[in-house]
A and B are shown apart, each in its own frame.
Chain A
Amino acid sequence: MTTKIRELLAKHGALPVSVETLADTTDLYEAGLSSFASVQLMLALEDAFDVEFPETLLNRKSFASIAAIRDALASLTEEAVA
């Protein structure tokens, strides 16, 4: 799951730094994730994992780090966090 998240982050995050340089817990907003890019990322994640984020998860916190995204997705899928 983390690999896929990193892949989508690289593609949709429009980050000024390489995703490889980011730890799972790095604050993505500090790393340059814009509000618009986080929305693009959210839509790409929904598509890739075939889930729909409920309104309660559509906030900055859910997309604040790779680990946070993994937790948000894990809460939506039965699949154990790999």
Chain B
Amino acid sequence: MQTSLLDRLFDAGLLIDTGVDGLYGRSGAFEDVIQRFEGLISAFGSSSPSEVIRFPPGMNRSHFEGSGYMKSFPQLAGTVHSFCGCELDHVNLLQCMAEGNDWTKDQKATDIVLTPAACYPLYPTIAKRGPLPAGGGLFDLQSYCFRHEPSKDPARMQLFRMREYVRMGTPEEVMAFRQQWMERGQELIAAVELPVEIDVANDPFFGRAGKMLANNQRDQALKFELLIPVTSTAKKTACLSFNYHQDHFGKTWGLTTADGAVAHTACVGFGLERIALALFAHHGLDTADWPSTVRKALWG
């Protein structure tokens, strides 16, 4: 039997098993690849000046609630809960734990929700500043993101990093941005000698209503993905996504352009771990053995 990519990554020490599927430690070599690839993204993105913002991997719960995420992806969300009781509650908690019972049911929700996508904290933040300047806005984000979907597929982690560029402005401005990044994204992946394929896609909306949302998203070509075979050639892995949100976030957060119209938004997202996995899967688990052209693109 062939050893799975995940086991090979564990054996090579690139990923470190924590006992939870989709939750892994990363080695220095793995992180180096991510850092170098991010450098390459920055180089491709540097022709358009952007505002760099780094949010932690948790977001304001009220912003999360306002985003409508629970309408679409309740199955993926992760909330942060804490013990908020008195001393007596603490005694009961410890007893409950000692007896091996479910001690988590009395934990109370905090004001923090795990960030589901790097751009979610951005929209309310920018809306709070008032109307966008003329020409709109361009933002550079990176965050760990959480999605509750435990899996043995190393390309489906529960905690992973997403680098994003987000464009806000008129429909023409954001569509031009998305088109530009669909071209740049292919050049970027070609530069590290990975196979490239772009296809229309949909988000994993929940339930039957979600089926309709997914069909709507496809019909309108709102989402494209750049796919690379990682664990299987039959089922390729989405490593970049190009998303046009129309006026969804603009309306939700009261985000407007300089002349007062509801802003449209779009984002390009890079699944950093997925790209690193694609590089390891295609070029080998030891970066020293990678083709010199790929090494040059990443390490200069």
Contacts and interface: CB of A to CB of B under 8 A. Distances in A.
B44 to A, nearest CB: 31
Contact of A38 (B71, B211, B216, B217): B216
Contacts of B213: 35-36, 39
Given A35-B213, A35-B216, A39-B213, A58 B208 contact: yes
A33 B274 CA distance: 36
A58 B48 CA distance: 40
A60 B215 contact: yes
B70 to A, nearest CB: 12
Contacts of B209: 39, 42-43
B211 A58 contact: yes
B133 interface: no
A42 B212 CA distance: 9
Interface residues of B, number: 12
Contacts of B212: 38-39, 42, 58-59
Nearest to A58: B212
A58 B219 CA distance: 11
B216 A60 contact: yes
A55 B216 contact: no
Dominant secondary structure of chain B at its interface with chain A? helix
B215 A59 contact: yes
Interface string B208-231: 110111011101100000000000
Given A36-B68, A36-B71, A55 B211 contact: yes
Contacts of B220: 60
Nearest to B251: A34
A6 to B, nearest CB: 21
Nearest to A52: B208
Interface string A42-82: 11000000000001001111000000000000000000000
A22 to B, nearest CB: 20
A55 to B, nearest CB: 6
Nearest to A42: B212
Contacts of B71: 36
A48 to B, nearest CB: 16
Q: Which of A38, A55, A59, A61 has the most B CB atoms < 10 Å from its CB?
A: A59
Contacts of B216: 35, 38, 59-60
A42 B208 CA distance: 10
B223 to A, nearest CB: 12
Contacts of A43: 209
Contact of B219 (A36, A42, A55, A59): A59
Contacts of A42: 209, 212
A58 B68 contact: no
Nearest to A57: B212
Given A39-B213, A42-B212, A60-B220, 4 more contacts: A36-B71, A39-B212, A59-B216, A59-B219
Interface of B: 68, 71, 208-209, 211-213, 215-217, 219-220
Interface of A: 35-36, 38-39, 42-43, 55, 58-61
16 contacts: A35-B216, A38-B212, A38-B216, A39-B209, A43-B209, A55-B211, A58-B208, A58-B211, A58-B215, A59-B212, A59-B215, A59-B219, A60-B215, A60-B216, A60-B219, A61-B219
* The 10 residue pairs across chains A and B that have the minimum distance between CB atoms: A58-B212, A59-B215, A39-B209, A60-B219, A35-B216, A58-B211, A60-B216, A39-B212, A58-B215, A55-B211
